[in-house]
Amino acid sequence: DTGVSQDPRHKITKRGQNVTFRCDPISEHNRLYWYRQTLGQGPEFLTYFQNEAQLEKSRLLSDRFSAERPKGSFSTLEIQRTEQGDSAMYLCASSPGTSGRADEQYFGPGTRLTVT
């Protein structure tokens, strides 16, 4: 169990550019979640996948945001035409989905995005 990993850990981009983040969940976990956390706030839910199916999207996830999880393994979160308001920590979490600990989510270290 190597834990949830995210790449990159930090990203600085200019307003209007596109960015893509990657999340590798714990290998046997079939649920994967994306959250966004701003300074002084708790994480806010963006979207989640059960295997490769995207089952829920928050209204926070504007049309500029898209997420994929091909083959039910790693996931990517893309933000198009970034805005300064997108600056935040983007967190990924995974959970077993089908065990006694199915409701426990394991978080990665996050990707800190700064839009200048």
Residue 12 or 102 having the CB closest to another protein: 102
State the minimum distance, in angstroms, from the CB of residue 15 to another protein. 27
Q: How far apart are CA 99 and CA 82, in angstroms?
A: 38
Nearest to 75 by CA among 97, 37, 46: 46
Q: Which one of 75, 94, 105, 111 is in contact with another protein (CB under 8 A)?
A: 105
Write each residue from 38 to 77 as x if it is in contact with another protein (CB under 8 A), else as -, in one continuous string.
--xxxxxx--x------xx-x-------------------
Largest CA distance in the chain: 44
Two tokens, residue 89? 């920590």
- Is 83 a residue that touches another protein (CB under 8 A)? no
* 72: nearest Cα among 46, 94, 87: 94
Selection from 112, 26, 23 nearest residue 75 by Cα? 23
Nearer of residues 18 and 114 to another protein, judged by Cβ: 114
> Shortest distance, CB of residue 13 to another protein, whole angstroms?
22
Phi/psi for 55 (5° steps) reads -100, -20
> Of the two residues 24 and 82, which places its CB atom closer to another protein in the complex?
24
Residues that bind another protein (CB under 8 A): 4, 31, 33, 35, 40-45, 48, 55-56, 58, 91, 93, 95, 102-110
